[in-house]
Amino acid sequence: MFKLKLWKQKMQYFVYSRKISTKMSVLMITVITLALFCSVFTLQTYNKQILYKNTQEAANTNLTSFHKLVENTIESVNTYSYICLSSSAVQQGLEKEEDAIADFRNIEKIEASLTELIAKIDLIESIYIYDKE
């Protein structure tokens, strides 16, 4: 308690012993400094909110674009698979009897036809044909 009173007396002496112009200068500098700190804090908070919102919008846009890209890729691959299966050479090769389908020349013919169809398509690396039976 004694130290607090001593500190209070020292502060009073320091303030009362100064000229009024010095007191006004210190007061103005203090007010301006506080106003600047408040302004900087407010602007920084506002800037963080804007940055967060922009980052969130960019992330959503990227995810939406990626989702559409994947959907379009899958749709393209499905379309190419229908094109490959609708090829006359593939249809003729697959419609033959079981013994003819197992024939090496027939397999080569189907493979050559499919290779020709997908040669220009980067999305497809391989094709698998399954028997439904």
Per-residue pLDDT tens for 4-60?
A: 788 888 888 887 888 889 889 989 999 999 999 999 999 999 999 999 999 999 999
pLDDT of residue 42: 98
pTM (global) more than 0.95: no
| pLDDT, tens only, 51-110 | 999 999 999 999 999 999 999 988 988 888 888 778 777 777 777 666 655 667 777 888
Residue 117 burial (CB count, 10 A): 19
Alpha carbon distance 13, 35 (integer Å)? 28
The full set of domain ranges for the chain reads: 22-76, 87-133
- Contact at 8 Å (CB) between 129 and 106? no
Question: Max alpha carbon distance in the chain (Å)?
Answer: 116
CA distance 115 to 108: 10
Distance CA 4, CA 8 (A): 6
Query: Does residue 25 or residue 126 have the better pLDDT?
Result: 25
Looking at the chain, list the stretches that DSSP marks H as alpha helix, in order from N- to C-terminal side: 2-16, 20-85, 88-95, 98-101, 104-118
Dihedral sign computed on CA atoms, order 67, 71, 74, 76: negative
Higher pLDDT, 1 or 29: 29
Amino acid (one-letter) located at 65: S
